[in-house]
């Protein structure tokens, strides 16, 4: 599909099982095609090629046949666990929100995990040691920081980074939506995650940190596309704490230009939200003039009015910062 010498970025998505690696891919794509869940859902390494020229997302499993098929969740689920002789299944797609016109390769891994899925450990180390990596995106689960699995993963990442030479690491502090801004300090959490990871890497390694709500980003993007959502996803998409988003943006460790760009986008979507809600009130007022009990029931109109909320939420989730970060690699 692509030679190991392709000079584009080759990014390993590394993280314990269920930290949200596949959800990050879904959020970047704006679709729910990568199997995600609280179990061992990704059971092997997948190579995901972002190709700006790609017009139709496709996948194939070279262990079975060289033929490409349309990308669906069912097909990816069927490939899962079929990896043999270290040949990852392949996905070719265009991530629509990356701005830069060049390819990027991502590797999705199962994440090493406890005895039950012993094989996964081997696959993650195959990925760490053998793939032609230029960057590591380490996805950490806010709910499960400092577990033994995570400790083991960090140690192995550090060992491989020391052997392979410098591999810049970006920590994605995922599931940031669980942070209670009243009780916890985003600054302390980011600081702690950054220094824990840095402690495992060779001196002078770069460690950036972006707090992220990847499930939220996936759901809000799919809401805009009117993709059918589960009850859980619809619920999930109803809430966001803007103060948390502001703190995430303030405390992220990433280039200053990205921070400024995201802050400007948030302001713009906020203006749009104010405009939409004023517009919605006038429509409701007009409807009541027609009939005292009337309400705004035109679903299409309501969806358009919700667009600004979704766009602000997507920007606030951290995914837009991640995309600018990828463009900057
Ligand atoms: N609350 C919350 N849950 C998330 C988020 N991202 C992923 N999850 C959930 O975490 C679980 C594991 O996600 P998955 O992407 O399969 O993790 P992976 O094993 O690292 O690929 C799924 O149930 C996701 O819905 C997030 O940003 N917030
Ligand atoms: Mg996965």
Ligand 1 nearest-atom number relative to CA 19:
20
Q: Which ligand is nearest to the CA of 15?
A: 1
Spatial separation of the C-alpha atoms in residues 119 and 133, rounded to whole Å: 21
Strands (DSSP E) contained in 25-98 are 46-50, 58-60, 69-70, 89-93
Residue identified by tokens 């709500």 is: 213
What's the confidence (pLDDT) of residue 37? 80
- How close is the Cα of 159 to the center of ligand 2, in Å? 23
Smallest CA-to-CA distance from 108 within 68, 179, 67, 50 is with 50
In terms of Cα–Cα distance, which of 57, 60, 64, 2 is closest to 33? 57
Indicate the SS3 state at residue 254.
Answer: coil
CA–centroid distance for 15 within its chain: 12
Ligand 2 being an ion, which residues bring their Cβ within 5 A of it? 21-22, 42
**Dist CA 94 CA 100 (whole Å):** 11
Q: Is the pLDDT of residue 218 over 70?
A: yes
pTM as predicted: 0.91
The alpha-helical segments, DSSP class H, found in the chain are: 21-29, 73-79, 118-130, 148-164, 186-199, 214-224, 231-236, 242-251, 256-290, 299-316, 319-327
Best mutation site among 12, 16, 17, 18 for ligand 1 pocket (most ligand atoms within 8 Å of CB): 18
Phi (first) and psi of residue 92, to 5 degrees: -125, 125
Tokens 């972006």 correspond to 210
151 contacts 26 by C-beta, under 8 angstroms: no
pLDDT at 113: 57
CA-to-CA dists, residue 304 to 29, 181, 294, angstroms: 21, 30, 19
Ligand approaching nearest to the C-alpha of 117: 1
Please report which ligand is nearest the Cα atom of 214.
Answer: 1
Is there a contact between 251 and 187 (Cβ–Cβ < 8 Å)? yes
Q: Name all residues whose Cβ lies below 6 A of ligand 1.
A: 15, 17-23, 36-38, 41-42, 111, 174-175, 177-178, 213-216
Calculate how far, in angstroms, residue 289's C-alpha sits from the geometric centre of ligand 2. 52
Ligand 1 atom 16, closest CA: 36
Q: Strand 46-50 relative to strand 58-60: parallel, antiparallel, unpaired?
A: unpaired
Measured by CA distance, the residue closest to atom 3 of ligand 1 is 175
- Best of 14, 20, 112 for a ligand 1 pocket test (most atoms within 8 Å of beta carbon): 20
* Bridge partners, residue 49, by sequence: 92, 105
Residue 148 burial by Cβ neighbours in a 10 Å radius (0-12, 13-18, 19+) = exposed
Band (pLDDT 50/70/90 cuts) for residue 222 is very high
Helix ranges (H only) for 8-147 are 21-29, 73-79, 118-130
- Please give the distance, rounded to the nearest whole angstrom, from the Cα atom of residue 36 to the centre of ligand 2: 6
Give the mean pLDDT of 211-233.
Answer: 94
**42: closest CA among 8, 76, 6, 7?**
76
Q: Are 146 and 155 in contact (CB under 8 A)?
A: no
pLDDT at 304 over 60: no
pLDDT at position 317 is 98
> Which of helix, strand or coil describes residue 46?
strand
Give the domain ranges of the chain: 10-254
Which of 157, 149, 151 has its CA nearest to residue 112? 149
> Which atom of ligand 1 is nearest the CA belonging to 15?
20
Which of residues 16 and 250 earns the better pLDDT score? 250
Ligand 1 atom 23: the closest Cα is on which residue?
A: 37
Report which protein residue has its CA nearest ligand 1's atom 22. 37
pLDDT, position 85: 57
Of the listed ranges 37-41, 146-150, 322-326, the one predicted with least confidence: 37-41
pLDDT in tens, 86-145: 678 899 999 999 999 999 999 998 766 554 445 556 677 777 888 889 999 999 998 888
Homologous superfamily, domain 10-254: P-loop containing nucleotide triphosphate hydrolases (3.40.50.300)
For residue 207, the model assigns a pLDDT of 94
Tokens for 60, please give them: 């194939």
Residue 259 pLDDT: 98
| 63 or 5, which is more confident | 63
pLDDT at 283 over 60: yes
Between the CA of 215 and the centroid of ligand 2 the distance, in Å, is 13
């Amino acid at each position: 599909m692509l030679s190991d010498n392709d000079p584009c970025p080759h990014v390993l998505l590394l993280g314990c099982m269920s930290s949200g690696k596949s959800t990050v891919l879904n959020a970047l794509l704006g679709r729910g095609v990568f199997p995600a869940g609280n179990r061992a859902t990704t059971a092997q390494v997948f190579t995901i090629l972002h190709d700006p020229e790609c017009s139709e997302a496709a996948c194939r499993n070279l262990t079975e046949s060289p033929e490409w098929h349309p990308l669906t969740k069912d097909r990816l689920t069927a490939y899962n666990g079929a990896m043999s002789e270290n040949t990852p299944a392949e996905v070719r797609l265009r991530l629509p929100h990356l701005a830069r016109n060049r390819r990027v390769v991502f590797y999705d891994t199962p994440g090493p995990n406890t005895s039950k899925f012993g094989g996964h450990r081997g696959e993650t180390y195959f990925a760490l040691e053998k793939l032609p990596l230029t960057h590591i995106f380490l996805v950490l689960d806010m709910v499960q920081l400092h577990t033994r699995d995570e400790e083991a993963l960090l140690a192995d990442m550090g060992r491989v980074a020391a052997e392979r030479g410098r591999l810049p690491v970006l920590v994605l502090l995922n599931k940031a939506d669980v942070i209670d801004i009243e009780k916890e300090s985003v600054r302390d959490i980011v600081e702690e995650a950054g220094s824990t990871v840095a402690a495992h890497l060779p001196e002078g390694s770069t460690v950036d940190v972006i707090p992220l709500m990847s499930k939220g980003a996936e759901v809000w993007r799919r809401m805009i596309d009117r993709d059918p959502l589960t009850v859980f996803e619809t619920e999930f998409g109803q809430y966001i704490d803007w103060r948390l988003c502001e703190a995430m943006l303030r405390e992220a460790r990433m280039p200053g230009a990205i921070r400024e760009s995201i802050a400007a986008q948030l302001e713009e979507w906020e203006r749009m939200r104010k405009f939409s809600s004023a517009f919605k009130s006038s429509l409701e007022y007009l409807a009541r003039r027609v009939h005292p009990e009337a309400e705004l029931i035109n679903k299409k109109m309501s969806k358009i009015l919700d667009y600004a909320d979704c766009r602000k939420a997507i920007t606030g989730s951290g995914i837009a910062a991640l995309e600018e970060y990828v463009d900057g690699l």
